[in-house]
Amino acid sequence: MERVKRDDGGSSKARGKKGGGGSGGGGPLPPRRLPKPIPQLVLTVLLKRLRKNTGHFGIVSDLSNNIYSTEPLEQFNVVGVHSVRMAEVDQTILQEDDDGEIKVTITSTGQQIDTRQMQWELNTKGTWRGFELETSIKTTLEQVNNAIVKSLPTYKFIPLGRSNLIRWPENQGTGDLGGGVVCWKGISANVAMGWQPYLSADLSHCAFLADTKVMDALKEKIRDLPNDVTQWKPWQFQEAKSFLKNVKIRYKVNGKTIGGPVTELLPRSVSQETFHWEEKGFTTSVYDYFTKHHGIKLNKNGPCLELRKRCKVPAELCIIKKGQSFSRKLDDKQTSNMLNVAKKAPAVLKCEIEEEISNLPTQDNKEIMSAWGMNIGNEMLFLKNTRVLAAPQLRYGPGNGSNSGKGDAIITPKEGQWDPWSGEYAFLNSKTVNVWTIVKVGGAGDKFAPNDDDILQFAQQLRNNGNRKGISFKTRPIRDDGKMAHLRPNDAAASNVTQLVELFENLATQNCDLVVSIIPRKNSPLYSHIKQAAELHVGLLTQCVVGQNVTKGQDATVQNILLKINSKLGGVNYAMQIPPDIEVLNQIDIMRCPMLIMGADVTHPPPGSMKKIQIGKGKTEDVAVPSFVGVTGSIDMTGMPFMMDIRAQRKADRGAAEVIQDLDKIVLDMLIMFRRQTKGIRPRKIIYYRDGVGEGQFPEVLHTEMLAMRKACNSLTDYDGSPYQPKITFVTVQKQDNGRTDKDNRNRFSPSYIIPQGEDPINFWVQPDHTPGRQGRHKTRFFYHSPRGIVNPPPGTVVDKEIVHQTQTDFYLCSHAGMMGTSRPTRYHVLWDDSNFTADEIQHLTYYLCYMYVRCNKSVRIPAPTYYAHWAAARAKALTDGMEEYFGNLPKLNERMRRHEEILKNNPMHFV
């Protein structure tokens, strides 16, 4: 098998495009890197030509940079330069008139892979279990197989990412998400190497820009947008500029369709923007050029776009090109609409996947599949003897009311849920609030903001519900919000923080324990301003509440807020204990074996995120937005209270592993905190759950972060004065993958589909995605065949065979009850284990930790420490709002992010 490579594709002819105002006067463009989707279109044409001319069908491509073949291509005389005229490609997807020509250079890499030993293992043993496959070879084989999958669809599609094949719709797509964004539907399909080679398949719903007029898209996204650009408000101009950046558009002049990416939304109208018309030898406005030279009627005060940094075009002529994925973060409304489109009941989703897969193998590509020894099975393969783990028991505090004197309450969750408010008993360790206040921050003039009566009623609900669980609010809240309601979310962060610091310092002098801050809406910038003032400057505990929730005054909302308040104050709502009726060794009982349970995550800004900072008088500079690290660790034997540490660090280069810097210092601080909180106890085990790591990054992340943890431990001594060497278990957490399974009521699982490969066709299961570098994401789902039909699996469902790694320890766990759509399990990979946990022990411990998340009374999808790490990283981002001037100096930024000593000492769980 040989891999060949295509160059970046400079054009062999200058692709002259006339009709746009610019300094080039419509002259030829310089050679440039080919934009999407041109490589896909060109390679599709070239591969069809090569197969036809050579009769060799064992040649496929990832439609980007690589071509793969079952035979050396030299023997077919195809190595060299090939020309493809743009007139030959699919004009529907191209969407512009282009008479240019692309040269594709095919060169040999010299890399060959002998798969005979792998095939022998599979043919003789029926499995690759226990067969050690070199990582680089496995990666290349998966890339080859995924290239083959891209050759299967016979419909028009857009390749998106490594595995998404999005159908090219005849109309706008599956659904309108709002703001000029629509949803397109397709299939996510790729091949991975488990105990057997598996085709992983799932439905994909991706956000795309609507192919509509630019002005219509802007008006849909930006409220009250005038046609006259000179009347736009600064925030409207900035939103429009951000939306249009790098968006590809097309427009028609003299019957010819021309296109290109938007490089700038120009600040002046078309009548004010000018360019030098070289052909005529004078300067003219964009408005005059199009109206007088081309006879096009225009709005004189309309906005003007710059394309490719060389051409100026009126925005009202432009139409957004179809087929552009929307890579920015969806807003709340778009997210809600996407969920409505994409969420599907398990039975519906299963049928739609089956339909998509059944459409793949057609007569048009049988010759390709035959050349690669492949076939697609049409039945699901059931996995037998899978398990559903029992839920842990949860211990609350002593009974009250009619339950007084009956001892601690023990609750066993059912279907991943429980209701502590239905019984008369307290939290395990309830805290007292001596002095507290409610402050309305922002919302002045908002008709939906809570009034004084609403706030007083909300305060009484907090006190009443708190008393039921032993949380005592000793006094009525101090009311001191007269100076804060006027704060606006869009005001400068520094100004808002300064005013809030003044208020909080005054409250601190009154020994205030808690500030309940009412903010106008979710995700308001005022949230960040409150946390900065309280946690960085004053050391005061805050709890933010959205004004709408105060107005509604629902008990369920108040009770959830109290879960967080008690934890922030240092209380313990409940603790886990091992049920007496299951066989699990004491070494996973955290109440008997001291453990430091840790979670870690790194969150990244969107690709290309930059902030403009002032570097001098009238001078600005773009700096990259950093990544944020969140690390959490348990601080006592109950495993419920957690501490956290945060860092900002530079995002790793493309292809590099995202290791956590300064982890040794973070772990050392947590070990010291654990010892202080437990009066001298040293953890005998460290259980480290690491999120956000792709399989290709496992070796580097394991090596670097294990060394950091060992370094931290070696700097301490054990009880007898010897070096402190606790047993460390390193587990990665992956929340998405590309596979699905079925389970019937006889306790059997069936994956969806698989590719039989080799001489003896075998029906395979839809395998999870093990593609390296995917930041630990997967799309596996379990379909449970119950007497009620196909439903979500019960919490505790574990799969640890067939679809997992051939030689390493990994498993899938569905720890939560599916509330909406089809559940997605989490994949765990044990990279290191000094404790030699059995599979049953590590699975039980992981499952139990999903019940220890204090923000709700449900088991969650990932272990609590990992969930907390997400919140810690999010808090780091909030604490740096308005500190963009330090993004270029991360040591200084981390210094300014350091939280107040009072918060660190008294309220380690302030971040929940």
φ, ψ dihedrals at 50, nearest 5°: -65, -40
CA distance 363 to 903: 67
497 DSSP 8-state letter:
H
648 DSSP 8-state letter:
E
CA distance 229 to 266: 10
In our burial notation (b when 16+ CB lie closer than 10 A, e otherwise), range 673-687 reads: bbbebeeeebbebbb
Bridge partners (DSSP) listed for residue 751 = 741
CA distance 80 to 584: 63
Which pLDDT score is estimated for 355?
81
Contact 71, 58 (CB under 8 A): yes
- CATH 3.30.420.10 maps onto the chain at 584-756+828-905
When pLDDT is averaged across residues 715-726 and rounded to a whole number, the result is 93
**Which of 152-166, 391-405, 489-503, 657-671 has the weakest average pLDDT?**
152-166
- CATH 3.40.50.2300 maps onto the chain at 430-569
User: Domain 214-320 - what CATH class?
Assistant: mainly beta
- Strand bridging mode 514-519 / 436-440: parallel
CA distance 404 to 841: 36
Q: Select the CATH number that applies to the domain covering 584-756+828-905 from these four: 1.10.630.10, 3.40.50.620, 3.90.1150.10, 3.30.420.10.
A: 3.30.420.10
Bridge partners (DSSP) listed for residue 630 = 601, 646
**Alpha-helical regions (H) of 517-618:** 525-531, 547-552, 555-568
When pLDDT is averaged across residues 765-792 and rounded to a whole number, the result is 59
Side-chain-side CA neighbours of 343 within 13 Å: the count stands at 12
- CATH 2.170.260.10 maps onto the chain at 214-320
CA distance 18 to 637: 73
Contact 647, 658 (CB under 8 A): no
**Distance from the Cα of residue 775 to its chain's centroid:** 9
Which pLDDT score is estimated for 4?
33
Single pTM value for the model: 0.83
- What CATH number is given for 430-569 in this structure? 3.40.50.2300
CA distance 677 to 905: 10
Checking if the pLDDT of 17 tops 80, the result is no
φ, ψ dihedrals at 773, nearest 5°: 80, 20
State which of 113-127, 142-156, 493-507, 615-629 shows the largest mean pLDDT. 493-507
Contact 188, 202 (CB under 8 A): yes
pLDDT tens digits for range 812-857 = 999 998 878 888 889 999 999 999 998 889 999 999 999 999 999 9
CA distance 769 to 852: 29
Which pLDDT score is estimated for 771?
37
Confidence of residue 362 (pLDDT cuts 50, 70, 90): low
Q: What angle do CA 346, 351, 356 make, to 5 degrees?
A: 125
Alpha carbon separation from 284 to 22, 28, 272, 551 (Å, rounded): 10, 21, 10, 58
Closest CA to 137 of 117, 107, 162: 117
